Structure 1
Amino acid sequence: MFQGSLLDSTDESGPRPLSSARRTQLAHGAWVDVLPGWIPAADALFERLLTSVPWRAERRRMYDRVVDVPRLLSFYDEAEELPDPVLDEAKAALDDHYTDELGEPFRTAGLCLYRDGRDSVAWHGDRTGRGATHDTMVAILSVGTPRSLLLRPRGGGPTMRHELGHGDLIVMGGSCQRTWEHAIPKSTHAKGSRISIQFRPRGVR
């Protein structure tokens, strides 16, 4: 069950200006930008993505066994059409704001559906490909019921928490994928589903 936000607008005028994002400098050359409520009418976007995206379950090897990935997934490569025009607008706005700093546009979109509080993702950095050796950016748009995104220095340390849903944006930049980790922990308090859309440059997963 999804619980909509009472603050969610029916305005479809497009993303808010990214100049309003609040940047926090982290250790080791990492940083995060956060902009609550970046996308208007985010709950309507959630409902559209829930029904239009070809969600799939995956299984992955963990140590000596194969286990279910605790969330549903979908991936749109750079040659593929995104599943909703609002995501095209979001990507265009991210490119316009961050391309000079990043040095290239965002190319791909990975979507995750956290169906309830039992779905999660363990501590990790997006270090497959260039993210393992180069500074990069990952922009995450969250729609649906808020869930906690945790950040900590790689290998452990003080943890930062961001509650993300209903159109909130977080952008992780600099060395963040190499020197920090992020996670969505399981929750006994989540009362609905959340979809995250991760925009990444080419060669970063």
Structure 2
Amino acid sequence: MTSSFQASLLGLDEELGVGPLGAAVRRTQLGRGAWIDLLPGWLSGADTLFERLVDAVPWHAERRRMYDRVVDVPRLLKFYDEGEPLPDPVLDDCRRALNEHYERELGEPFRTAGLCFYRDGRDSVAWHGDTIGRGSTEDTMVAIVSVGSPRPLLLRPRGGGPSIRRDLGHGDLIVMGGSCQRTWEHAIPKTARSAGPRISIQFRPRDVR
């Protein structure tokens, strides 16, 4: 699979690996029991990982029913269930580091990994919360590592309200926690502007989708 990816000036030259978490993480309280943690550039050499994942992951397209018709899902997907080998050892390092930092607060480890490939500005995901499974009734966490070109992640209170924008790419980490999946929604909007490809790697606990 090919991609028209514009690497950052340093991203392909850096040694690939995860950085420290700890005090480097910045938490923002969103209200209604929801919060996000943000750490730009957590994964060094992220552009190298992007290129690896483009070729190594068995991406597939999906079609879903929307109202009275079946439509293409505007992104490519791959889900790795617990126990299934991840496509690159660096993703194991990411999950291990996230578990070391968050497992006490979360009360359980991150177990699964969902990957989304946004090929250009036409690919997107609509407003939603990860409420399939326990996320609909329980506080939980979803940790997202972004590689490739930055795209805006928007968050807004469920039911409407002003949105928050975070541009994510080149190894940035965002963790949505507390009641975020129930009381807030997030989206990657389409854009008519030139947008390079991005891969989102989402780590979740068991029975959260």
Following superposition, the deviation at residue 21 of structure 1 comes to: 1.1
Matching of residue 143 in structure 1 with residue 147 in structure 2: yes
Counterpart among 22, 38, 44 of residue 40 in structure 1:
44
Match of 2:18 in 1: 15
Match of 1:181 in 2: 185
Following superposition, the deviation at residue 13 of structure 1 comes to: 5.9
- Evaluate the alpha carbon distance shift between residue 188 and residue 170 of structure 1 in structure 2; reply closer, same or farther with a 3 A threshold: same
Segments of 4+ moved more than 3 angstroms:
none
Match of 2:78 in 1: 74
TM-score (norm 1): 0.98
CA contact (8 A) 1:145 1:190 kept: no
What amino acid maps onto 2:43 in structure 1?
I
Following superposition, the deviation at residue 188 of structure 1 comes to: 2.0
TM-score (norm 2): 0.96
Following superposition, the deviation at residue 72 of structure 1 comes to: 0.2
CA contact (8 A) 2:16 2:48 kept: no
SS in 1 for 2:102: helix
Residue deviations 1:124-166, cap 9 Å, x none? Answer: 0000000000000000000001000000000110100000000
Following superposition, the deviation at residue 173 of structure 1 comes to: 0.2
Matching of residue 127 in structure 1 with residue 143 in structure 2: no
Identity %: 74
Matching of residue 50 in structure 1 with residue 54 in structure 2: yes
Following superposition, the deviation at residue 190 of structure 1 comes to: 3.7
- Evaluate the alpha carbon distance shift between residue 171 and residue 190 of structure 1 in structure 2; reply closer, same or farther with a 3 A threshold: farther
Match of 1:86 in 2: 90
CA contact (8 A) 2:150 2:169 kept: yes
CA contact (8 A) 1:147 1:190 kept: no
Counterpart among 2, 18, 40 of residue 5 in structure 2:
2
C-alpha distance in structure 2 between counterparts of 1:106 and 1:58, whole Å: 25
SS in 1 for 2:32: helix
CA contact (8 A) 2:110 2:204 kept: yes
SS in 1 for 2:152: strand
What amino acid maps onto 1:104 in structure 2?
E
C-alpha distance in structure 2 between counterparts of 1:58 and 1:71, whole Å: 8
- What RMSD in Å do the two structures reach over aligned CA positions? 1.0
